[in-house]
């Protein structure tokens, strides 16, 4: 499982460490990426969920993400919108938003529920 977090400042820095990126590319386990809820000013404006994935794949020169958890609920906070993903690979789409403490966060319970669903191959929403 990768993420959630900023694609450029949280997720990618760990993957470009040769040993970590190499291990992720070689694993036979399903690699799940939890995409950020919202775009980030100065980094990912106008990115879709698939754009985030392409950045990771491009930097490791491999298509290593099997499934992505992508929020589909439109979120607007301080004028920054996260665009709903377009179709590319297996994406579990859901409203993963939790609004609390004046911020926008992943709903941890929903994310964990979806991860358990992936582990047990239950009926999931995949586009």
Residues facing residue 67 across a β-bridge: 32
In the chain, which stretches have pLDDT less than 50? 80, 82-89, 125-127
pLDDT of residue 96: 72
Contact 74, 37 (CB under 8 A): no
Topology annotation, domain 7-120 = Rossmann fold (3.40.50)
Q: What is the per-residue pLDDT for 127?
A: 37
Domain boundaries, the chain: 7-120
83-113 residues labelled b (16+ CB within 10 A) or e (exposed)? bebeebbebbbbebbbeeeeebebbeebbee
pLDDT of 74: 64
pLDDT for residue 76: 59
Q: pTM for the complete prediction?
A: 0.72
């Amino acid at each position: 499982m990768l993420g959630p977090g900023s694609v450029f400042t949280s997720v990618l820095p760990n993957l470009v460490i040769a040993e970590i990126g190499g291990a992720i590319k070689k694993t036979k386990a399903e690699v799940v990426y939890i995409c950020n809820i919202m775009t980030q000013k100065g980094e990912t404006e106008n990115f879709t969920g698939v754009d985030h994935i392409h950045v990771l794949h491009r930097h490791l020169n491999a298509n290593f993400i099997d499934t992505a958890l992508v929020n589909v609920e439109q979120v607007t906070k301080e004028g920054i919108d996260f665009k709903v993903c377009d179709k590319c690979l297996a994406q579990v789409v859901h409203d993963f938003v939790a609004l609390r403490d004046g911020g926008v966060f992943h709903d941890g319970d929903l994310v964990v529920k979806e991860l358990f669903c992936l582990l047990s191959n239950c009926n999931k929403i995949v586009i």
